[in-house]
A = this chain, B = another copy of it.
């Protein structure tokens, strides 16, 4: 396929560089190739910016040493821009102030905090040391979600809730937004297209009722993310959890919903670019774009060939990422990444 073919296509859509605000890298330990693999798949799939989650199956970024280890894996592997975040633990709040300038955000993994500890006290400690200029992200659910929304409101902090998937949770967030609380949220793209009806053995998938309420409350959803969900689904189904699961499915799934009249292209751009850039105070990437063809199945389907995907055989998905341009340089063509390492670590970026 020649470059002229792509550009003259009637079914071509050009998007800005996409942001994955919750990129799961299975191993964050020094020497791992997972970051490189995830970055490459991301670029081929239309993402030009990755916000790396601070916990993997190997390693969590909870202190300076772990952050350095994770960063060492980005040498010659930065196919996209990226930033790291740091994870809150019960007792690392005092260390974190020194790390704040070196990461994109603080992530409070409510579901990993031990059940017996006083989460209010822990979160309050973290609020008191974390600069207001840096975002706070949490995966809190149900009563913990309500709890952190109150704390954020009382302490005048923004908070971003990641991976929302329950009906009551999205309703609570919608209500909180209505009442003027400074809360934003994302949902995993997989949670819009897979439910426990499809895979009853996957505990992290929403029920059908939960999924319906996500669609109904889309106006309250600021961002879409890839997140950990594809890896959790693979794990629950006994598949190998390889780096980059779910990333290549993102645009094909979302554009199938455009075709079904459930989403507009504008809905996608706002949730994978505009809102992420605003909420996480990211750089605008200059001369960066993603050109997709919405009537072709890619000859190189990353979902089918590189990684397991529950959607690999889905003939309804026919979106190809034709080309990706980063900082004015074409870096990916039909799933083949040029190998140019143009990405930057923007972890310490602050808005002027």
What is A's interface to B at a CB cutoff of 8 Å? Answer: 118-121, 124, 142-151, 153-154, 166, 168-169, 172, 175-176, 179
Contacts and interface: CB of A to CB of B under 8 A. Distances in A.
A120 B168 contact: yes
Contact of A151 (B124, B146, B148, B166): B146
A124 B168 contact: yes
29 contacts: A118-B142, A118-B143, A118-B166, A118-B168, A119-B142, A120-B142, A120-B143, A120-B145, A120-B146, A120-B168, A120-B169, A121-B142, A121-B168, A124-B168, A142-B147, A143-B143, A143-B144, A143-B147, A144-B147, A145-B147, A146-B146, A146-B148, A146-B150, A146-B151, A150-B150, A150-B176, A154-B172, A154-B176, A154-B179
Contacts of A142: 118-121, 147
A278 to B, nearest CB: 24
Given A144-B147, A150-B176, 6 more contacts: A118-B143, A145-B147, A146-B146, A146-B148, A147-B150, A149-B150
A175 B154 contact: yes
A210 to B, nearest CB: 11
Contact of A150 (B118, B119, B153): B153
Contacts of A146: 120, 146-148, 150-151
| 8 closest Cβ pairs, A-B complex | A146-B147, A150-B150, A143-B147, A146-B150, A119-B143, A121-B168, A147-B147, A118-B142
A132 to B, nearest CB: 17
Nearest to A117: B142
Query: How many copies of this protein are present in the complex?
Result: 2
Contacts of A120: 142-143, 145-146, 168-169, 172
Nearest to A143: B147
A108 to B, nearest CB: 12
| Most chain B C-beta atoms within 10 Å of own C-beta, residue among A143, A148, A166 | A143
| Most chain B C-beta atoms within 10 Å of own C-beta, residue among A148, A151, A154, A168 | A154
A95 to B, nearest CB: 21
Contacts of A144: 143, 147
Contacts of A153: 150, 153, 179
Contacts of A145: 120, 147
Contacts of A179: 153-154
A172 B224 CA distance: 33
A67 to B, nearest CB: 28
Contacts of A172: 120, 154
| Most chain B C-beta atoms within 10 Å of own C-beta, residue among A119, A120, A179 | A120
A112 to B, nearest CB: 14
A150 B177 CA distance: 12
| Most chain B C-beta atoms within 10 Å of own C-beta, residue among A119, A147, A168 | A147
Nearest to A146: B147
A149 B176 CA distance: 13
A174 to B, nearest CB: 10
A179 to B, nearest CB: 5
Contacts of A175: 154
A248 B27 CA distance: 63
A153 B176 CA distance: 10
